[in-house]
């Protein structure tokens, strides 16, 4: 079987999610859903490929959360203190009476930074988390 040959598969999702995805496809100028899904898969695979990597990377962890969620802020702080060697800076914004945005700038081994991101974004009360990274040239 030739790896360059296109394969078809189906995806099931709720109607409201599909409508939002179709809006994204249109806004970004994709010719069709398949092109958009391929880009999403490529991005996910690139992020995943660095999980076990010893490569030094820098990036950010973006968190949106409700600070009224019980124990959330304490848990975020504990995790950040455990991984303090990988955290260069944090910035905290109050978006409204309940919602916060926190931006955490990170640097270290890709596998360690990925684990930090997973720990932070999986805490109950974190509504959305996004992890971005790029390799850092070694000196």
| Binding-site positions for Ni(2+) | 81, 92, 94, 100
* Feature table: binding site: 81, 92, 94, 100
Residue at token pair 């939002």: 20
Contact 101/95 with Cβ under 8 angstroms? yes
Show Cβ contacts of residue 76 under 8 Å, excluding neighbours closer than 6 positions.
Answer: 63, 65, 102, 120, 123
Q: With the CA atoms of 92, 82, 65 and 43 taken in that order, what torsion angle do they form, in degrees rounded to the nearest 10?
A: 100
């Amino acid at each position: 079987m030739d790896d360059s040959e296109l394969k078809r598969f189906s995806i099931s999702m709720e109607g409201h999610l599909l409508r939002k995805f179709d809006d994204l496809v249109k806004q970004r100028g994709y010719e069709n859903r398949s092109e958009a899904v391929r880009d999403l898969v490529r991005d996910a695979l690139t992020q995943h490929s660095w999980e076990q990597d010893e490569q030094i990377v820098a990036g950010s962890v973006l968190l949106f959360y409700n600070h009224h969620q019980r124990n959330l802020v304490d848990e975020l702080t504990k995790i950040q203190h455990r991984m303090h060697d990988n955290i260069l800076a944090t910035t905290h914004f109050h978006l409204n009476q309940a919602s916060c945005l926190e931006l955490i700038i990170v640097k270290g081994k890709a596998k360690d930074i990925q684990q930090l991101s997973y720990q932070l974004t999986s805490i109950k009360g974190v509504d959305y988390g996004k992890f971005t990274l790029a390799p850092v040239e070694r000196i």
